[in-house]
Amino acid sequence: MTTPTDADAADHTPRMAARRQAMINAAAAIFFEHGFERASLSAIVRRSGGSLSTVYQLFGSKEGLFEAMITQRCAEIMEPLTAPSLSDQCPRQTLTRIARGLMGVLMDPEAQGLWRMVMGEGGKFPRLPEIYFRCGPDPLQAAMIRYLGDLHGRGIVHCPDVAAVVNAFCGMMQSDLFYRTVTGMRPIPDTVEAERHIAKVVDLFMRMVAPR
Q: What is the pLDDT of residue 163?
A: 96
Predicted TM-score of the model (pTM): 0.76
- How many angstroms separate the Cα of 197 from the Cα of each of 121, 149, 154? 30, 25, 29
Per-residue HEC secondary structure of 172-210 comes to HHHHHHHHHHHCCCCCCCCHHHHHHHHHHHHHHHHHHCC
The reported pLDDT for the residue numbered 5 is: 44
**Cα maximum dimension of the chain:** 68
Q: CA-CA distance, 68 to 74, in Å (whole number)?
A: 10
pLDDT of residue 81: 62
CA angle 15, 21, 24 (to 5 degrees): 145
Residue 98, helix vs strand vs coil: helix
Please state the rounded mean pLDDT for residues 70-80: 76
Report the half-sphere exposure of 127 (CA within 13 A, side-chain side): 10
Model confidence band, residue 9 (pLDDT cutoffs 50, 70, 90): very low
In this prediction, residues 76-80 reach a mean pLDDT of 70
For 61, what's the count of Cα atoms within 13 Å in the CB-facing half-sphere? 4
- Check whether 7 has a pLDDT greater than 60: no
87-143 pLDDT tens trace: 656 889 889 988 998 898 899 888 888 888 888 888 888 888 888 888 778 888 888
**Which residue has better confidence, 210 or 13?**
210
What pLDDT does 159 receive? 93
Give the model confidence (pLDDT) of 175-195 as tens digits: 999 999 999 999 999 999 999
